[in-house]
C-alpha cells in the first residue's frame, strides 16, 4: 500500500515493554521493537520517523510517559502516522485501546498501523478484526493479573514479605529479597519516635521535634540511599517535612517487633491501582521473622498511649495522667481542670480531676454521679509512693514478690473465675440450643407450618439473642485469660523496677510504663476528716 506523504509531520514509532512482557524473551525487547519498526517504515517509505518508548510500563496503564507525549503531539497536530509492532503494544485495556485506535486517531486524522496483526486504519477490511484483538489483549491482562494475585497470595501465606521495599528502619538482605536486616541509622530514628511517644509526645509533637532536628523523612532518606519512589530525584525542597501522619504510620507497624504483616490491602481490579485497606482481622501476621527494632512491651505501650490523646493546655503542655484516672462509681474517665497564672515553680494554682459524667451533668444543670474531686498533686504523690514502695520491695524480694502476685491471682481466680465459668457454660449451652431451634424453625417454615411474618419475627429474635450471647462468651473468655497474664505482668513490672534506679521524681515515661489505670472513689468524712480511696 502506498504511503500518503504528509510533509513535516512525524511518523511515530511507538514501543512498549512491561516487566511481564520481558519474561517472554528477546522478541519483544525494546531494541528489537525499534529495529522492527524502523525496517517496516524504511521499506514503505515513511519519513521523519521518531521513537516514543515506554520501558517497564503495563499495557493497562495509559499514564505512560511516552504515550502521553505521543497523545500531546497528536493533539498539537504534529503526527501523521502511528506504527506499533502489534495491538498489545498500544495497550491491553479493551475500552481505552479501542477509544484511541477507533476514535481518537480518526478524529485527529492520524494513520494507525499494527504490523503483526495486519491492522491498517486505511484498510477497512483489517479494521473489522481490530476490536477482537483488543478484547484478546485485555483477556491476557486479566489472566495475568489473576495469576499474579495467586502467586502473591501463596507467597503471603508462606510468611514472605510482599512489599517491594523494606520499611523504614530495615534493608533487604543482598541476594535474598525476602530477608530484612536492621538499617541502624534509620532504626535509631524509629526507636527515638517510640521513646518520645512514651515520654508523652503526640505524633504532631514528634514530627515538629524531628523537623527542628533536621532529620530526613523516610522517603527522602530512601532516595538518598538509591531506593524508593524518589530515587531519581536530584533535589528535595523540604527534606525534613515530617508530619503527624508519617509518625503515626511508623508507630502502628507491628513489623518493628520483628513480625511480617501481609494482606494489609488489596486492589479491586487490575484496572484500578488504588489500594483498598483490609480490616485488621484479615491481616496475616508472622511473628519473629526478622530482628526487632523495639520490643513488644514498648510497641504495645505506644499503641495504648495513642488511643488516649492528651490535649495541650494554653502553655503547650499536656497532663501525663490524663486518660489513666477513672471514676469508681460510674466508670467514666476523670477530667483534668487546671488554670494558669501561678509562679514559675507552681504554674498551675488550680489543678485537679473530677468525674466527667458529673462535669457534663453539671453543665446541663442536671445531676449524675458525684464530683470525686482529687488534686493532681495528690495523685502524683500517691503514684510515686506506690511505684517506689512496690519497686523497692520487688527488687529486694524477687521470689516473694512473684509468689504474692501468683497468690493474689489465685484468690482473684477463685472468687471470680468460678462464676465466670458457670456463666460461660450456660451461655455456650444456650447458643447450641438456639442452633437447634433455628434449624427446626427453618424446617417448620419449609413445610408451611408457620407464616412468613411469624418466621421473620422469630428468626430475628433468635439470631439477636445468639449474637448477644456470642459477644458475652467472648468477653468471658477474655476475662478468664486475664488471670493467666498476671504472672507475666509481674515479671514485666520487675524488669521495669530494675530499669528505673531513681524514684525521687515522677516522670512521664515512669507513669506511662508502670501505670495501667487509677480508680478514684468518692471522698468520705470519717471523724470529720476527708478520706478518699484511690486504687492504682
Q: pLDDT of 409-444, one tens digit each?
A: 665 565 566 677 777 788 888 888 888 888 888 888
Q: Which residue in 235, 256, 197 sits closest to 513, CA to CA?
A: 197
Q: Which residue in 89, 10, 84, 85 sits closest to 46, CA to CA?
A: 10
In terms of pLDDT, which residue wins out, 72 or 272? Answer: 72
Mean pLDDT, the chain, rounded, equals: 80
Q: Is the dihedral of CA 325, 330, 332, 337 positive or negative?
A: negative
- Give the count of beta carbons closer than 10 Å to the beta carbon of residue 258: 20
Would you state the cell numbers that stand for residue 526, as one nine-digit string? 470519717
Angle at 158 between CA 155 and CA 161, to 5 degrees: 60
In angstroms, rounded to a whole number, what is the distance separating the alpha carbons of residues 502 and 130?
A: 80
Q: What is the pLDDT of residue 19?
A: 64
Residues 210 and 238: beta-carbon distance below 8 Å: no
Q: Which residue in 107, 110, 108, 70 sits closest to 89, CA to CA?
A: 70
* 388 burial via Cβ count (<10 Å: 0-12, 13-18, 19+): middle
Judged by average pLDDT, the poorest of 139-148, 177-186, 193-202, 398-407 is 139-148
Residues 376 and 319: beta-carbon distance below 8 Å: yes
Residues 185 and 499: beta-carbon distance below 8 Å: no
Q: Does position 472 have pLDDT exceeding 60, yes or no?
A: yes
Helix axes of 203-212 and 184-198: crossing angle, nearest 10 degrees: 130
pLDDT band at 312 (very low <50, low <70, confident <90, very high): low
Integer angstrom CA distances of residue 85 from 30, 93, 115, 127, 380: 11, 17, 5, 16, 77
* 161 burial via Cβ count (<10 Å: 0-12, 13-18, 19+): buried
Mean pLDDT, rounded, for 396-408: 77
Mean pLDDT, rounded, for 63-78: 93
In terms of pLDDT, which residue wins out, 516 or 151? Answer: 516
Judged by average pLDDT, the poorest of 87-101, 330-344, 457-471 is 330-344
Mean pLDDT, rounded, for 472-501: 69
The phi, psi pair for 219, rounded to 5°, reads -65, -40
Residues 310 and 202: beta-carbon distance below 8 Å: yes
Q: What is the pLDDT of residue 246?
A: 93
Residues 449 and 508: beta-carbon distance below 8 Å: no
Q: What percentage of the chain has pLDDT greater than the value 70? A: 79
Q: pLDDT of 233-267, one tens digit each?
A: 777 888 999 999 999 999 999 999 998 888 777 56
Judged by average pLDDT, the poorest of 28-42, 127-141, 205-219, 329-343 is 127-141
DSSP label of 239:
T
3-state helix, strand and coil shares in percent for the chain, rounded to the nearest 5: 50, 15, 35
pLDDT band at 509 (very low <50, low <70, confident <90, very high): confident
Would you state the cell numbers that stand for residue 100, as one nine-digit string? 484511541
pLDDT band at 370 (very low <50, low <70, confident <90, very high): confident
Q: What is the pLDDT of residue 234?
A: 74
- What residues have CB less than 8 Å from 185, skipping those under 6 apart? 221
Q: What is the pLDDT of residue 26?
A: 46
Q: Which residue in 86, 147, 160 sits closest to 116, CA to CA?
A: 86
Superfamily of domain 10-149: Resolvase, N-terminal catalytic domain (3.40.50.1390)
Reported in sequence order, the residue ranges of 471-528 that DSSP labels E, i.e. its strands, are: 518-520, 524-526
Q: Is the dihedral of CA 480, 482, 485, 490 positive or negative?
A: negative
Give the SS3 label for residue 118: coil
Angle at 351 between CA 347 and CA 352, to 5 degrees: 170
Helix axes of 398-412 and 376-396: crossing angle, nearest 10 degrees: 120
Sorted by where each begins, the domain ranges of the chain are: 10-149, 170-306, 318-372+506-536, 394-500
Q: Do domains 10-149 and 170-306 have the same CATH topology?
A: no
Integer angstrom CA distances of residue 7 from 17, 46, 204, 332: 30, 11, 61, 82
* 524 burial via Cβ count (<10 Å: 0-12, 13-18, 19+): exposed
Q: What is the pLDDT of residue 23?
A: 46
Residues 352 and 375: beta-carbon distance below 8 Å: yes
Task: End-to-end CA distance of the chain: give it in Å, rounded.
Answer: 92
Q: What percentage of the chain has pLDDT greater than the value 90? A: 21
Q: Which residue has the cell 511480617?
A: 260
- Beta strands at 534-535 and 518-520: parallel, antiparallel or unpaired: antiparallel
Print the SS3 string covering 286-349.
ECCCCCCCCCHHHHHHHHHHHCCCCCCCCCCCCCCCCCCEEECCCCCEEEEEEECCCCCCCCCC
In angstroms, rounded to a whole number, what is the distance separating the alpha carbons of residues 26 and 514?
A: 64
Q: What is the pLDDT of residue 28?
A: 62
Q: Does position 527 have pLDDT exceeding 60, yes or no?
A: yes
The region, left, alpha or beta by phi > 0 then psi within -120 to 50, assigned to residue 170 is: beta
| CATH architecture type of domain 170-306 | Alpha-Beta Complex (3.90)
pLDDT band at 24 (very low <50, low <70, confident <90, very high): very low
Judged by average pLDDT, the poorest of 34-43, 162-171, 500-509, 520-529 is 500-509
pLDDT band at 464 (very low <50, low <70, confident <90, very high): confident
pTM: 0.54
Reported in sequence order, the residue ranges of 442-536 that DSSP labels E, i.e. its strands, are: 518-520, 524-526, 529-531, 534-535
In angstroms, rounded to a whole number, what is the distance separating the alpha carbons of residues 67 and 77?
A: 15
Amino acid at each position: 500500500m502506498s504511503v500518503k506523504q504528509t510533509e513535516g509531520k512525524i511518523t511515530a514509532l511507538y514501543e512498549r515493554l512491561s516487566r511481564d512482557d520481558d519474561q517472554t524473551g528477546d522478541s519483544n525487547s525494546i531494541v528489537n521493537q525499534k529495529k522492527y519498526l524502523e525496517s517496516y517504515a524504511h521499506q514503505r517509505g515513511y519519513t521523519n520517523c521518531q521513537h516514543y518508548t515506554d520501558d517497564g510500563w503495563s499495557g493497562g496503564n495509559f499514564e505512560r510517559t511516552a504515550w502521553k507525549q505521543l497523545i500531546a503531539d497528536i493533539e498539537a497536530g504534529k503526527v501523521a502516522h502511528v506504527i506499533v509492532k502489534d495491538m498489545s503494544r498500544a495497550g491491553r485495556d479493551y475500552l481505552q485501546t479501542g477509544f484511541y485506535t477507533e476514535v481518537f486517531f480518526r478524529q485527529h486524522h492520524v494513520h494507525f498501523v499494527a504490523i503483526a496483526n495486519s491492522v491498517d486504519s486505511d484498510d477497512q477490511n483489517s479494521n473489522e478484526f481490530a476490536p477482537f484483538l483488543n478484547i484478546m489483549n485485555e483477556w491476557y491482562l486479566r489472566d495475568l493479573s489473576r495469576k499474579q494475585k495467586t502467586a502473591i497470595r501463596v507467597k503471603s501465606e508462606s510468611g514472605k514479605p510482599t512489599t517491594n521495599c523494606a520499611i523504614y528502619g530495615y534493608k533487604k538482605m543482598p541476594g535474598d529479597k525476602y530477608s530484612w536486616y536492621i538499617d541502624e541509622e534509620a532504626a535509631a530514628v524509629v526507636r527515638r519516635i517510640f521513646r518520645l511517644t512514651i515520654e508523652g509526645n503526640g505524633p504532631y509533637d514528634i514530627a515538629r521535634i524531628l523537623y527542628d532536628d533536621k532529620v530526613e523523612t523516610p522517603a527522602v532518606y530512601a532516595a538518598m540511599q538509591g531506593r524508593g519512589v524518589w530515587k531519581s530525584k536530584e533535589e528535595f525542597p523540604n527534606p525534613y517535612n515530617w508530619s503527624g501522619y508519617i509518625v503515626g504510620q511508623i508507630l502502628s507497624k507491628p513489623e518493628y517487633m520483628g513480625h511480617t504483616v501481609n494482606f494489609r490491602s488489596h486492589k479491586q481490579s487490575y484496572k484500578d491501582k488504588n489500594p483498598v485497606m483490609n480490616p485488621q482481622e484479615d491481616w496475616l501476621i508472622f511473628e519473629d521473622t526478622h530482628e526487632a527494632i523495639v520490643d513488644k512491651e514498648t510497641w504495645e505501650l505506644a499503641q495504648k498511649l495513642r488511643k488516649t490523646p492528651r490535649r495541650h493546655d494554653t502553655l503547650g503542655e499536656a497532663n501525663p495522667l490524663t486518660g489513666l484516672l477513672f471514676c469508681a462509681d460510674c466508670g467514666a474517665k476523670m477530667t483534668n481542670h487546671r488554670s494558669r497564672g501561678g509562679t514559675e515553680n507552681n504554674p498551675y494554682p488550680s489543678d485537679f480531676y473530677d468525674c466527667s459524667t458529673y462535669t457534663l451533668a453539671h453543665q446541663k444543670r442536671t445531676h449524675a454521679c458525684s464530683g470525686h474531686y482529687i488534686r493532681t498533686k495528690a495523685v502524683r504523690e500517691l503514684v510515686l509512693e506506690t511505684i517506689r514502695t512496690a519497686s523497692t520491695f520487688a527488687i529486694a524480694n524477687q521470689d516473694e514478690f512473684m509468689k504474692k502476685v501468683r497468690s493474689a491471682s489465685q484468690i482473684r481466680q477463685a472468687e471470680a473465675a468460678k462464676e465466670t465459668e458457670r456463666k460461660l457454660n450456660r451461655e455456650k449451652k444456650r447458643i447450641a440450643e438456639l442452633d437447634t431451634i433455628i434449624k427446626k424453625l427453618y424446617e417448620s417454615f419449609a413445610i408451611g407450618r408457620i407464616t412468613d411474618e411469624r418466621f421473620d419475627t422469630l428468626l430475628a429474635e433468635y439470631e439477636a439473642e445468639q449474637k448477644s450471647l456470642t459477644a458475652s462468651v467472648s468477653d468471658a473468655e477474655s476475662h478468664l485469660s486475664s488471670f493467666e497474664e498476671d504472672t507475666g505482668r509481674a515479671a514485666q513490672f520487675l524488669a521495669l523496677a530494675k530499669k528505673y534506679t531513681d524514684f525521687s521524681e515522677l516522670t512521664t515515661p515512669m507513669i506511662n510504663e508502670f501505670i495501667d489505670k487509677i480508680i478514684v472513689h468518692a471522698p468520705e468524712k470519717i471523724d470529720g476528716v476527708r478520706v478518699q480511696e484511690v486504687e492504682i
